[in-house]
Structure 1
Amino acid sequence: MAKFTVNTHRFDPYRNFKFRVRVDGQYVAGVSKVSALKRTTEVTPWREGGDPSTSRQLPGKTTYAAVTLEAGLTHDTTFEAWASLVHNYQGDAAGSLKNFRKNISIDVFNEAGQRVHSYNLFRCWVSEYQALPDLDASANAVAIQTLKLENEGWERDTSVTEPTEA
Protein backbone atom coordinates (compact mmCIF):
# COMPACT_ATOMS: atom_id res chain seq x y z
CA MET A 1 0.00 0.00 0.00
CA ALA A 2 1.33 3.42 -0.95
CA LYS A 3 2.11 5.75 1.91
CA PHE A 4 0.59 9.18 1.44
CA THR A 5 0.80 11.26 4.60
CA VAL A 6 -1.39 14.21 3.55
CA ASN A 7 -3.85 12.40 1.28
CA THR A 8 -4.44 9.27 3.34
CA HIS A 9 -7.36 8.31 1.05
CA ARG A 10 -5.01 7.95 -1.93
CA PHE A 11 -3.73 4.50 -2.86
CA ASP A 12 -2.71 5.00 -6.50
CA PRO A 13 0.84 6.10 -7.36
CA TYR A 14 1.44 9.17 -9.48
CA ARG A 15 1.23 8.84 -13.25
CA ASN A 16 4.19 9.35 -15.55
CA PHE A 17 2.56 11.61 -18.15
CA LYS A 18 2.30 14.94 -16.29
CA PHE A 19 5.68 16.63 -16.10
CA ARG A 20 7.57 19.71 -17.23
CA VAL A 21 11.25 20.51 -17.72
CA ARG A 22 12.82 23.80 -16.62
CA VAL A 23 16.02 25.16 -18.17
CA ASP A 24 17.33 28.52 -16.94
CA GLY A 25 14.23 28.81 -14.74
CA GLN A 26 11.82 28.62 -17.70
CA TYR A 27 9.69 25.68 -18.81
CA VAL A 28 10.62 24.30 -22.24
CA ALA A 29 7.71 24.00 -24.69
CA GLY A 30 6.59 20.66 -26.07
CA VAL A 31 8.67 18.21 -23.99
CA SER A 32 6.96 14.86 -24.44
CA LYS A 33 9.46 12.38 -23.03
CA VAL A 34 12.24 12.25 -20.44
CA SER A 35 14.35 9.13 -20.00
CA ALA A 36 14.78 7.62 -16.54
CA LEU A 37 17.03 9.16 -13.91
CA LYS A 38 19.55 6.44 -13.17
CA ARG A 39 22.69 6.22 -11.10
CA THR A 40 24.99 3.24 -10.75
CA THR A 41 27.56 2.57 -8.04
CA GLU A 42 30.34 0.18 -8.94
CA VAL A 43 31.04 -2.75 -6.64
CA THR A 44 34.60 -3.05 -5.37
CA PRO A 45 35.41 -6.50 -4.00
CA TRP A 46 37.79 -6.52 -1.04
CA ARG A 47 39.31 -9.45 0.70
CA GLU A 48 41.09 -9.55 3.99
CA GLY A 49 44.39 -11.45 3.94
CA GLY A 50 43.54 -13.58 6.96
CA ASP A 51 40.18 -14.76 5.54
CA PRO A 52 40.72 -16.25 2.07
CA SER A 53 37.29 -17.88 1.75
CA THR A 54 35.14 -14.74 1.59
CA SER A 55 35.32 -11.29 0.12
CA ARG A 56 33.42 -8.16 1.02
CA GLN A 57 31.63 -5.81 -1.32
CA LEU A 58 32.45 -2.11 -1.00
CA PRO A 59 30.82 0.78 -2.85
CA GLY A 60 33.02 2.27 -5.57
CA LYS A 61 32.54 5.13 -8.04
CA THR A 62 29.04 6.35 -8.75
CA THR A 63 28.10 7.36 -12.27
CA TYR A 64 24.96 9.07 -13.53
CA ALA A 65 23.39 7.93 -16.80
CA ALA A 66 22.75 10.47 -19.52
CA VAL A 67 19.19 11.80 -19.68
CA THR A 68 17.40 12.09 -23.01
CA LEU A 69 14.73 14.74 -23.57
CA GLU A 70 12.31 14.60 -26.50
CA ALA A 71 10.18 17.53 -27.52
CA GLY A 72 7.79 18.27 -30.34
CA LEU A 73 9.22 20.75 -32.81
CA THR A 74 8.04 24.26 -31.86
CA HIS A 75 9.43 27.79 -32.14
CA ASP A 76 11.06 27.41 -28.70
CA THR A 77 14.82 27.61 -29.40
CA THR A 78 16.02 26.52 -25.94
CA PHE A 79 17.42 23.15 -27.06
CA GLU A 80 19.05 24.49 -30.21
CA ALA A 81 20.68 27.42 -28.42
CA TRP A 82 21.97 25.16 -25.64
CA ALA A 83 23.37 22.59 -28.09
CA SER A 84 25.13 25.42 -29.97
CA LEU A 85 27.03 26.37 -26.80
CA VAL A 86 28.93 23.07 -26.98
CA HIS A 87 29.36 22.94 -30.75
CA ASN A 88 28.62 25.63 -33.27
CA TYR A 89 28.82 25.25 -37.05
CA GLN A 90 30.81 28.49 -37.14
CA GLY A 91 33.69 26.77 -35.32
CA ASP A 92 34.94 26.11 -31.82
CA ALA A 93 35.38 29.80 -31.05
CA ALA A 94 31.60 30.32 -31.40
CA GLY A 95 30.90 27.84 -28.57
CA SER A 96 30.74 28.88 -24.91
CA LEU A 97 32.91 27.12 -22.38
CA LYS A 98 31.50 29.44 -19.73
CA ASN A 99 27.78 28.69 -20.17
CA PHE A 100 27.46 25.25 -21.80
CA ARG A 101 26.70 23.49 -18.47
CA LYS A 102 23.29 24.15 -16.97
CA ASN A 103 21.31 22.92 -14.01
CA ILE A 104 17.82 21.79 -14.98
CA SER A 105 14.72 20.70 -13.08
CA ILE A 106 12.11 18.08 -13.84
CA ASP A 107 8.74 18.71 -12.18
CA VAL A 108 6.17 15.93 -11.82
CA PHE A 109 2.49 16.78 -11.35
CA ASN A 110 -0.54 14.84 -10.10
CA GLU A 111 -3.72 14.48 -12.13
CA ALA A 112 -5.01 17.80 -10.76
CA GLY A 113 -1.91 19.64 -12.00
CA GLN A 114 -0.31 20.09 -8.56
CA ARG A 115 3.47 19.69 -8.39
CA VAL A 116 4.24 16.58 -6.34
CA HIS A 117 7.93 15.88 -7.07
CA SER A 118 10.85 17.82 -8.44
CA TYR A 119 14.33 16.65 -9.33
CA ASN A 120 17.34 18.89 -9.91
CA LEU A 121 20.00 17.74 -12.37
CA PHE A 122 23.41 19.33 -12.00
CA ARG A 123 25.98 20.57 -14.53
CA CYS A 124 24.19 19.13 -17.56
CA TRP A 125 25.58 19.59 -21.06
CA VAL A 126 24.43 18.50 -24.50
CA SER A 127 26.31 15.50 -25.89
CA GLU A 128 23.82 14.76 -28.71
CA TYR A 129 21.28 16.96 -30.43
CA GLN A 130 18.83 15.91 -33.13
CA ALA A 131 17.20 19.02 -34.59
CA LEU A 132 14.82 17.17 -36.93
CA PRO A 133 13.59 13.59 -37.13
CA ASP A 134 13.37 11.63 -40.35
CA LEU A 135 10.83 13.45 -42.47
CA ASP A 136 8.23 11.32 -44.25
CA ALA A 137 5.44 12.81 -46.37
CA SER A 138 3.31 9.67 -45.99
CA ALA A 139 3.56 9.56 -42.18
CA ASN A 140 1.12 10.96 -39.65
CA ALA A 141 3.46 11.86 -36.79
CA VAL A 142 4.74 14.75 -34.73
CA ALA A 143 8.22 16.08 -35.55
CA ILE A 144 10.41 15.36 -32.51
CA GLN A 145 13.74 16.91 -31.60
CA THR A 146 16.03 15.05 -29.18
CA LEU A 147 18.59 16.23 -26.66
CA LYS A 148 20.95 13.91 -24.78
CA LEU A 149 22.27 15.43 -21.57
CA GLU A 150 25.33 14.30 -19.70
CA ASN A 151 25.08 15.25 -16.04
CA GLU A 152 27.13 15.18 -12.86
CA GLY A 153 24.35 14.05 -10.60
CA TRP A 154 20.82 14.72 -9.52
CA GLU A 155 18.79 14.91 -6.35
CA ARG A 156 15.19 15.19 -5.32
CA ASP A 157 14.06 18.66 -4.28
CA THR A 158 12.74 17.96 -0.79
CA SER A 159 11.13 21.41 -0.54
CA VAL A 160 8.36 20.06 -2.81
CA THR A 161 5.96 18.32 -0.46
CA GLU A 162 2.76 16.37 -0.93
CA PRO A 163 -0.07 18.82 -1.73
CA THR A 164 -3.58 18.49 -0.33
CA GLU A 165 -5.79 17.00 -3.05
CA ALA A 166 -9.39 18.10 -3.49
Structure 2
Amino acid sequence: MNTPTQTVTVQLPDEAATRRLGAALAGALGPGDVVVLRGDLGAGKTALARATVRALTGDPDEEVPSPTFTLVQVYEGAAGPLVYHYDLYRLEHPDDVLELDLDDALAGGIALIEWPDRMAGWLPRDRLDITLSHTGATARRADLTGQGAWRGRMDSLARRVTS
Protein backbone atom coordinates (compact mmCIF):
# COMPACT_ATOMS: atom_id res chain seq x y z
CA MET A 1 0.00 0.00 0.00
CA ASN A 2 1.36 3.43 -0.93
CA THR A 3 1.43 6.21 1.63
CA PRO A 4 -0.45 9.26 0.34
CA THR A 5 1.63 12.43 -0.02
CA GLN A 6 1.18 16.05 -0.92
CA THR A 7 4.03 18.46 -1.73
CA VAL A 8 4.30 22.21 -1.17
CA THR A 9 7.16 24.11 -2.79
CA VAL A 10 8.62 27.24 -1.21
CA GLN A 11 11.16 29.46 -2.96
CA LEU A 12 13.93 30.69 -0.66
CA PRO A 13 15.72 33.57 -2.40
CA ASP A 14 17.97 34.26 0.60
CA GLU A 15 18.76 33.18 4.16
CA ALA A 16 16.09 35.52 5.55
CA ALA A 17 13.49 33.50 3.63
CA THR A 18 14.94 30.32 5.14
CA ARG A 19 14.55 31.83 8.62
CA ARG A 20 10.94 32.75 7.85
CA LEU A 21 10.26 29.20 6.68
CA GLY A 22 11.79 27.84 9.91
CA ALA A 23 9.58 30.11 12.02
CA ALA A 24 6.46 29.14 10.07
CA LEU A 25 7.37 25.48 10.31
CA ALA A 26 7.89 25.76 14.07
CA GLY A 27 4.35 27.07 14.45
CA ALA A 28 3.01 23.87 12.88
CA LEU A 29 5.03 21.39 14.98
CA GLY A 30 4.02 19.61 18.15
CA PRO A 31 4.92 16.62 20.31
CA GLY A 32 5.81 13.51 18.33
CA ASP A 33 6.42 15.36 15.05
CA VAL A 34 9.32 14.34 12.84
CA VAL A 35 10.82 16.54 10.12
CA VAL A 36 13.49 15.07 7.87
CA LEU A 37 15.82 17.37 5.97
CA ARG A 38 17.36 16.21 2.72
CA GLY A 39 19.70 17.94 0.29
CA ASP A 40 23.27 18.17 -0.87
CA LEU A 41 26.02 19.63 1.29
CA GLY A 42 25.40 23.37 1.57
CA ALA A 43 21.76 23.15 0.53
CA GLY A 44 20.57 24.82 3.74
CA LYS A 45 19.53 21.90 5.95
CA THR A 46 21.31 23.20 9.04
CA ALA A 47 20.22 26.79 8.40
CA LEU A 48 16.58 25.67 8.26
CA ALA A 49 16.98 23.47 11.34
CA ARG A 50 18.66 26.36 13.21
CA ALA A 51 15.81 28.74 12.36
CA THR A 52 13.23 26.15 13.40
CA VAL A 53 14.98 25.41 16.71
CA ARG A 54 15.28 29.12 17.50
CA ALA A 55 11.57 29.61 16.85
CA LEU A 56 10.65 26.55 18.94
CA THR A 57 12.81 27.70 21.88
CA GLY A 58 11.57 31.26 21.60
CA ASP A 59 15.16 32.50 21.62
CA PRO A 60 16.36 34.14 18.39
CA ASP A 61 19.93 34.08 19.76
CA GLU A 62 19.90 30.41 20.81
CA GLU A 63 23.25 28.79 20.05
CA VAL A 64 22.39 26.07 17.52
CA PRO A 65 25.58 24.41 16.34
CA SER A 66 25.49 21.73 13.70
CA PRO A 67 25.40 18.36 15.47
CA THR A 68 27.68 16.82 12.84
CA PHE A 69 30.12 15.53 15.46
CA THR A 70 27.77 14.98 18.42
CA LEU A 71 25.06 13.54 16.11
CA VAL A 72 22.28 15.07 18.26
CA GLN A 73 21.64 18.30 20.16
CA VAL A 74 18.65 18.64 22.49
CA TYR A 75 16.87 21.93 23.26
CA GLU A 76 14.13 22.97 25.68
CA GLY A 77 11.07 24.01 23.72
CA ALA A 78 9.50 27.29 24.87
CA ALA A 79 5.97 25.88 24.91
CA GLY A 80 6.53 22.25 25.66
CA PRO A 81 8.37 19.37 24.11
CA LEU A 82 12.09 18.89 23.83
CA VAL A 83 13.52 19.54 20.38
CA TYR A 84 16.00 16.95 19.06
CA HIS A 85 18.24 18.10 16.20
CA TYR A 86 19.99 15.16 14.54
CA ASP A 87 22.73 15.24 11.92
CA LEU A 88 23.28 11.63 10.87
CA TYR A 89 25.93 12.29 8.22
CA ARG A 90 28.56 10.41 10.26
CA LEU A 91 26.25 7.59 11.39
CA GLU A 92 28.05 4.33 10.64
CA HIS A 93 25.12 1.90 10.84
CA PRO A 94 21.35 2.56 10.77
CA ASP A 95 20.83 0.79 14.12
CA ASP A 96 23.20 3.27 15.78
CA VAL A 97 20.39 5.83 15.70
CA LEU A 98 18.76 3.90 18.57
CA GLU A 99 21.59 5.04 20.85
CA LEU A 100 20.69 8.69 20.20
CA ASP A 101 17.41 8.98 22.18
CA LEU A 102 15.33 8.42 19.06
CA ASP A 103 12.60 6.69 21.10
CA ASP A 104 12.27 9.76 23.35
CA ALA A 105 12.20 12.10 20.38
CA LEU A 106 9.50 10.08 18.64
CA ALA A 107 7.45 9.57 21.82
CA GLY A 108 6.93 13.18 22.76
CA GLY A 109 9.61 15.44 21.40
CA ILE A 110 10.05 17.17 18.09
CA ALA A 111 12.73 15.61 15.88
CA LEU A 112 14.57 17.45 13.11
CA ILE A 113 16.71 14.93 11.23
CA GLU A 114 19.42 15.84 8.73
CA TRP A 115 20.70 13.02 6.46
CA PRO A 116 17.72 10.75 7.29
CA ASP A 117 18.68 8.14 4.69
CA ARG A 118 21.48 7.07 7.06
CA MET A 119 18.86 5.60 9.40
CA ALA A 120 17.37 3.37 6.69
CA GLY A 121 14.29 1.54 8.00
CA TRP A 122 14.00 3.51 11.25
CA LEU A 123 12.20 6.50 9.73
CA PRO A 124 8.64 6.78 11.01
CA ARG A 125 5.82 6.56 8.49
CA ASP A 126 4.24 9.81 9.72
CA ARG A 127 6.69 12.59 8.97
CA LEU A 128 7.33 15.76 7.01
CA ASP A 129 10.05 15.40 4.38
CA ILE A 130 11.80 18.60 3.31
CA THR A 131 14.15 18.48 0.36
CA LEU A 132 16.33 21.55 -0.12
CA SER A 133 18.04 22.30 -3.42
CA HIS A 134 20.14 25.09 -4.92
CA THR A 135 18.43 27.31 -7.47
CA GLY A 136 21.08 30.05 -7.66
CA ALA A 137 24.11 31.48 -5.87
CA THR A 138 22.20 32.06 -2.62
CA ALA A 139 18.72 30.92 -3.62
CA ARG A 140 17.21 27.62 -2.58
CA ARG A 141 13.98 25.74 -3.04
CA ALA A 142 12.27 23.72 -0.33
CA ASP A 143 9.90 20.91 -1.30
CA LEU A 144 7.79 19.92 1.72
CA THR A 145 6.12 16.52 1.38
CA GLY A 146 3.70 15.10 3.90
CA GLN A 147 4.01 11.39 4.61
CA GLY A 148 1.30 9.39 6.38
CA ALA A 149 -0.65 11.51 8.87
CA TRP A 150 1.19 14.62 7.69
CA ARG A 151 -0.76 14.51 4.44
CA GLY A 152 -3.86 15.74 6.26
CA ARG A 153 -1.87 18.64 7.68
CA MET A 154 -0.39 19.91 4.42
CA ASP A 155 -3.14 22.44 3.56
CA SER A 156 -2.67 24.12 6.94
CA LEU A 157 1.10 23.99 6.60
CA ALA A 158 0.94 25.43 3.08
CA ARG A 159 -1.02 28.44 4.40
CA ARG A 160 1.62 28.99 7.09
CA VAL A 161 4.68 28.72 4.87
CA THR A 162 3.43 30.58 1.80
CA SER A 163 1.80 33.57 3.46
Q: TM-score range by the shorter chain?
A: under 0.3
Structure with bigger strand share is 1
Larger radius of gyration: 1
TM-score w.r.t. length of structure 2? 0.26
Larger relative contact order (CA 8 Å, sep ≥ 6)? 2
TM-score w.r.t. length of structure 1? 0.25
Structure with bigger helix share is 2
